[in-house]
Chains A and B, each alone.
Chain A
Amino acid sequence: MSNDKKITRRELIENMKTIAAGGALAGTVPWISLLSENVPAAVPASDKVNVGFIGTGSRGKALIRYANNVPAINIAATCDNYEPNFKRGLQIAKGSPKGYKDYRKLLEDKSIDCVIIATPLHLHAQMVLDAFDAGKHVFCEKALTKTIEEAKQVSRAQKKTGLILQTGHQRIFDIRYLKAFEDMKAGKLGKVTQIRAYWHRNGDWRRHVPKPSLERKINWRMYREYSLGLMTELASHHLQVANWFLGSTPEKVMGSGSINYWKDGREVYDNVNVVYRYPGGIHVVYDSLISNKHYGCELQMMGDKGLYELELGKFYSENPPAPAGILRLINDIEHSIFDPVPIAGASWVPENASKYKGEYIVDMHKSRIPNNTLLSLEAFAETVKKGKPVPGMLEHGIDAAVAVILGDKAMVENKIVNFSEELA
């Protein structure tokens, strides 16, 4: 395991170079080119970047554990204003980071090069803006912002300061997604007409609250003041992938949301269905619920030549390799003997799901595929070292945030929301 972690950086560059050699990626996923090219470094290659963690709750702690394994990162400080998280963050971070309870104090620390923000959604925008004011590069968990106005402010601030802003959309660093993207650009899927994505869980989505006064602080995802629920906390990932693969943002969105299972005082939907329309009439159909987990999480991208199931990392051709002739002959004989007489005409073919099991997009054992969150932190540290934002990285975060915010608006206001009107 430790060997795997040591080679991830090398694997990242080597795998990416191999894939980028195909051509399509170099132009459309610029972070690959930036990582492999020799840009004069702002921080010497031998040095680590000093990172401050703002927010050490469940996601923050997970990111600290990943960061512990990134050679280019030194965790210089952690910050949380909730005592158990504050202690736990300091405990699990490697080295001897300083502890802060106020993020503004952390931002005053001149030794810190960049911050990783993993706080409740409603705090993201202000923290990003404050970090930019303090001259720090930022990695912020998704969704990047809670409102359109915040998204505009953050976008303006990044462009003004020229500092790095990366959002926690780790799929853009996943070798399977990158290969799929390249293959799609080369025409493997044919004409893409629809993306169907879903994220299903079965659970109340609540965290343990030691005393009632902490309910809103700990279960912030349940309340509209702090979060837009399933849209900002889950859908953001799939909307980022849709925007990336389709090379565009949606034109409009319609949808329906409800609280129809977990009627426990929460304010955010526990059951959402939204349809985004992209240029060319492409639809992204997304649904999420937390009362049934049978189908789990998947993003199915459909073209007239094939289909991706990107969470599984699989490709299904519309014309799969035919079985051997002898097997088809045996099958025909078997059907002619044992099948009941069909009630429809001879031309009728049942349109059940294909039983074709597809093929893996990246022919590599699962254990060898580098972890995408680890890679996203590797990439962040490298870009901070080079001191140069990756073109397009800001837009990945902003566009995904805008898509989920307007998806929620369509459900709340029960109307078709037009992106160009909202963003004017």
Chain B
Amino acid sequence: MKDLVISAKTIKKELLIWLLCFLAAFGMNVYSIIKFDNTSFIELITQLHIVVILSFVFFALLYLLRLIFRLAAYPFTRKGSKQ
């Protein structure tokens, strides 16, 4: 069985993407606290678990998009490699 090798570059890239997702989710929390009544900035801490879950949801959605994009681009990249 062939070993799967994930390069440090790939890990770094994925972590960076997740960090962006986390920042987006965190930004949403800040926005919601400002937008809605009866909220408090303490929710930046108390709702951190929701923010983390949301960041993973964004990451998964983004991964799905990237996968679709790669699959769609696959025939062109293979044709290009033959030439």
- For A322, the chain B residues whose CB sits under 8 A away are 36-39
Contact with B along A312-342 (1 / 0, CB 8 A): 0000000001101111111000000000000
Contact of A326 with B29 in the complex, beta carbons under 8 Å: yes
- Count of B interface residues, CB-CB < 8 Å: 16
Residues of B within 8 A of A328 (CB): 32, 36
Min CB gap A122→B, angstroms:
57
Q: How far is the CA of A330 from the CA of B38 in the complex (A)?
A: 16
Segment at the A interface, from B5-13, B15-23, B45-53, B67-75: B45-53
Contacting pair A329 B50 (CB below 8 A): no
Per-position 1/0 for A33-51, Cβ under 8 A of B: 0000000000000000000
Query: Which residues does chain A contribute within 8 Å of B31, judged by CB atoms?
Result: 329
Q: Which residues of B contact A325 (CB under 8 A)?
A: 29, 32-33, 35-36, 39, 43, 47
Give the Cβ gap from B13 to chain A, nearest Cβ, in Å. 27
Q: How far is the CB of B80 from chain A (nearest CB, A)?
A: 38
A154 to B24, CA, bound (A): 75
User: For the complex, what is the distance from the CA of A37 to the CA of B38, rounded to whole Å?
Assistant: 45
| B35, B46, B54: the one within 8 Å of A324 (CB) | B46
Contact A329 B39 (CB under 8 A): no
Instruction: List the A side residues contacting B60 at CB < 8 Å.
Output: none
Q: 1/0 per residue A56-91: CB within 8 Å of B?
A: 000000000000000000000000000000000000
B28 within 8 A of A: yes
Question: Chain A residues with Cβ under 8 A from B39's Cβ?
Answer: 322, 324-325
- Assembly CA distance A321 to B46 (angstroms): 15
A409 → chain B closest CB, angstroms: 50
Using Cβ atoms and an 8 Å threshold, which residues of chain A touch B33? 325-326
Q: Are B47 and A326 in contact (CB under 8 A)?
A: yes
Q: What is the CB-to-nearest-CB distance from B53 to chain A, in angstroms, rounded to a whole number?
A: 10
Residues of A within 8 A of B28 (CB): 326, 329
Complex CA distance for A326 and B43, rounded to whole angstroms: 8
Q: With CB as the reference atom, state the residue of chain B lying closest to A322.
A: B38
Q: Once the chains are docked, how many angstroms separate the CA of A328 from the CA of B38?
A: 11
Q: Are the C-beta atoms of B37 and A324 separated by less than 8 Å?
A: no
Nearest residue (CB) in B for A321 is B38
Interfacial chain B residues near A324, Cβ < 8 Å: 32, 39, 43, 46-47, 50
Query: In the assembled complex, how far is the CB of residue A146 from the closest CB belonging to chain B, in whole angstroms?
Result: 53
**A-side contacts of B35, CB under 8 Å:** 325, 329
The docked-state distance in angstroms from the alpha carbon of A43 to that of B51 is: 67
Query: Bound complex: CA of A329 vs CA of B28, how far in Å?
Result: 8
Alpha-carbon distance A324/B33, docked complex (angstroms)? 8
Q: Which chain B residues lie closer than 8 Å to A329 at the CB level?
A: 28, 31-32, 35-36
Residues in A with CB closer than 8 Å to B37 are: 322
Interface core residue of A321, A325, A327, A328 (most chain B CB under 10 Å)? A325
Task: Give the Cβ gap from B57 to chain A, nearest Cβ, in Å.
Answer: 10
A321 to B38, CA, bound (A): 8
A330 vs chain B, min Cβ distance (A): 8
In whole Å, how far is B37's beta carbon from the nearest beta carbon of chain A? 7
Task: Report A330-358 residues with CB < 8 Å from chain B CB.
Answer: 330
CB-nearest residue of chain B relative to A329? Answer: B32
Q: How far is the CB of A336 from chain B (nearest CB, A)?
A: 14
Chain A residues within 8 Å of B46, by CB: 324
**Which of A321, A322, A324, A328 has the largest number of chain B CB atoms within 10 A?**
A324
Can you name 21 A-B residue pairings with CB atoms under 8 Å?
Answer: A322-B36, A322-B37, A324-B32, A324-B47, A325-B29, A325-B32, A325-B35, A325-B39, A325-B43, A325-B47, A326-B29, A326-B32, A326-B43, A326-B47, A326-B54, A327-B47, A328-B32, A329-B31, A329-B35, A329-B36, A330-B54
9 further A-B contacts with Cβ under 8 Å, apart from A326-B50, A327-B47, are A322-B39, A324-B39, A324-B46, A324-B47, A325-B35, A326-B47, A328-B32, A328-B36, A329-B31
